[in-house]
Structure 1
C-alpha cells in the first residue's frame, strides 16, 4: 500500500512538470494521446490570436483576456492530468518510454519552427531610446509580413554593423530626402519637392533654407511621444564624435540657420540613399540612431511594430497601439 501511494505521487509530479514544460506531454505520459495532441494546437491558436489582434487595434482588454485564456488552458491541463491519474488508478507509466522522448523532441522542434517562421515576432525593449512611445521592458509585436516602410512608421530592423543586434526606431525620412539637424530641430526637405511640402504641412513649420523649403520637426505634433531633453546638448555631443569618425551626419555651415558659437559649422547634414531609410528614436537626445551610424538598407528591415503586447512592470501599457 505504501509503495502504491509513493508511485502515484511520483506519477502526478512527473505529469505536472511535463505539462508545465510541454503542454500535453503530461497526458502523453499517462497514455492519453488524444488530449496530448489537442492541448498544443489550442495553445498555439490562442497565442496566435493574441499576437494577431494586437497588430490591428488598441485592444488592451482583449489581450488581457487571451492571456487569461492561455493561463487557464495551462491550469486546466494540469488539473485534468491529476484527475485522470486519480480516477484511473496506478498504471504502468513506463517513465523510460522512448515514445515520450520522441513526443517531447517533436514538440520542442515544432515550437522552435513556429517561433522562427511565425509572421509575428515579439521583442522585449531593453532601453528608453523610444520613450515615451515605447518604454523599457515593453514587449512589442512586430509584423514581419509588413515590410513596407512609410515616413512616421515605427520599424524593427537589423543593425547594419552587427545584424545580430535588432533596433526599433521611427522612420523619419526615405530615399532622396535631405536632413539638417540642429539642437532640438530636424529640418527635412522631402524628395517630392516644395509643392508637396506646401500642400502637406502648415506654414508655421516650413522654413526656406538655401532657396528650398524644409519642414521643422515634421512629426512632433503628430506623434506625442517625440521629445527632447532640455538638459542635454546633443549638438555638442555629436560634434565630439567627428574626430573619431563615429558620426554618419556631415557638418555643414548654412547661412539661413542660427550660428553656433565656437564652431565653424552650424548644422549636421545627411541625404538618404536609394533603398535606405533614416531611423531615429523618439527620445531624440538619448537615442543611438541613424545620425550616428547612417541610414538602414531595405534588406535589413524586419517589419512594422504593431502594438505593446505587455509590460510586466506596468500592465496599463498592455495592448497599446504604437503610433
Structure 2
C-alpha cells in the first residue's frame, strides 16, 4: 500500500472541498444554512491532513521494524523515526530530490525503497558508498582493502528464538555498532538475484566482493546471517532513499527500548 500516494490524494480532495467552500459554495448558501456533511468533514480535515502530509513528507516519518535483520541494534516491534530531510529534500510520492543537503555516510542506518519491489520500505546499514570496494569474506568486512576493526562481546541471546549468536562491536568510519554472526551459518551466499550492476560483484566460497557503482549504495543488516540484503539483491539506487533512521519512540513489548537507538 502506497500510503504517501493515499495521503496525497486525500490532501487534494479535502483541499479542493476547502477551496470550493471558501470561494464558491459558502456564497451560495443561505446565511443560516448548515454546511453539507461532505463540506463540513472535507474542510475540517484539510488542515490536519496538510500538517501530517508536510511532516511525513519533509520532516520525519514513522517506521515499524518488521524483522530481526537489524538485531541487536533494532528489534522487531520497534517504532522508529526517520529523518526525511538529512539526505536532501524530495518531492512527495515521486521521491525526486530537488534540494541536495547531505549524502548517506558509511555506518548510517537508512530506510529505502526495496529495489526488487519499490512499494516496500527496507531498513539496513550503509556499508558502501559510490566507488567503494566492499568485501565480505569469511564473515569479516573490509572496505577499500581495509579490514574493519571488531571487538568480541558476550554471545547474544535472541529474544524470540532463544538461541545464541556471536556478537561483536564493529567500527566503520569511527561509528561503532553491534553486529551478529552465527557460527553454524556458511560464508558463501546462495540464491543471489540477477540485479542491475551484477557484474560489479564477485561471489566465491568465502562470500562476496562488490564495487559500488555511482549513484548507488551497498546495504547490510547488522544480523549478518539473518539478513537478506545487498549481498543477495544488489545495490540501492539514490532515488530509492527514504531517509536516515535516528530514534526509537515506542516498543509496546519493551518500553525500555524507547530512545535506545545506537
Which TM-score band applies after superposition, normalised by the shorter structure? 0.5 to 0.7
Aligned position for 2:45: 108
Q: Decide which structure has the larger Cα Rg and report it.
A: 1
Aligned length: 191
Task: State TM-score, norm by structure 1.
Answer: 0.52
Report matched runs for 1:61-140 at 5 Å.
97-98=34-35, 101-118=38-55, 119-140=59-80
Flag the structure with higher helix content. 1
1:160 Cα deviation after fit: 1.7
Question: 2:96 maps to which residue?
Answer: none
- SS of residue matched to 1:134: coil
Task: Name the counterpart of 1:179.
Answer: 134
- String of CA shifts for 1:220-265, please: whole Å, max 9, x gaps: 99534211122322x24x1x325x747954225xxxxxxxxxxxx5
Aligned match of 1:241: 191
Give the whole-Å Cα distance in 1 for the aligned partners of 2:173 and 2:179: 6
With over 3 angstroms needed to count, the CA separation of the structure-2 counterparts of 1:295 and 1:186, relative to structure 1, is same
Other-structure match for 1:250: 202
Partner residue, 1:225: 178
* Paired residue secondary structure (1:225): strand
Q: How does 1:135-174 map to 2 (within 5 A)?
A: 135-147=75-87, 148-174=103-129
Are positions 1:189 and 2:189 aligned together? no
TM-score by length of 2: 0.63
SS of aligned partner of 1:162: coil
Deviations 1:276-323 (A, max 9, x none): 111111111111111111111111111111100111111111122x33
Does the CA-based 8 Å contact 1:157-1:167 persist in structure 2? yes
Q: Secondary structure at the match of 1:291?
A: helix
Q: CA, structure 1 residues 156+174, in 2 after alignment: closer, same or farther (shift >3 Å)?
A: same
Q: Could you say which structure has the higher strand fraction? A: 2
CA distance in 1, matches of 2:130, 2:174: 23
2:234 aligns with 294
In structure 1, distance between residues paired with 2:246 and 2:174? 20
CA distance in 2, matches of 1:303, 1:127: 19
- The Cα offsets for residues 44-99 of structure 1, whole Å up to 9 and x where unpaired, read as xxxxxxxxxxxxxxxxxxxxxxxxxxxxxxxxxxxxxxxxxxxxxxxxxxxx9535
Give the match for residue 22 of structure 1: none
Cα separation, 2, equivalents of 1:189 and 1:159: 25
Aligned to 1:91: none
Structure 2 unaligned residues grouped into runs of 5+: 1-32, 88-102, 152-169
Please, which runs of 5 or more residues in structure 1 have no aligned partner? Answer: 1-95, 191-196, 205-216, 253-264
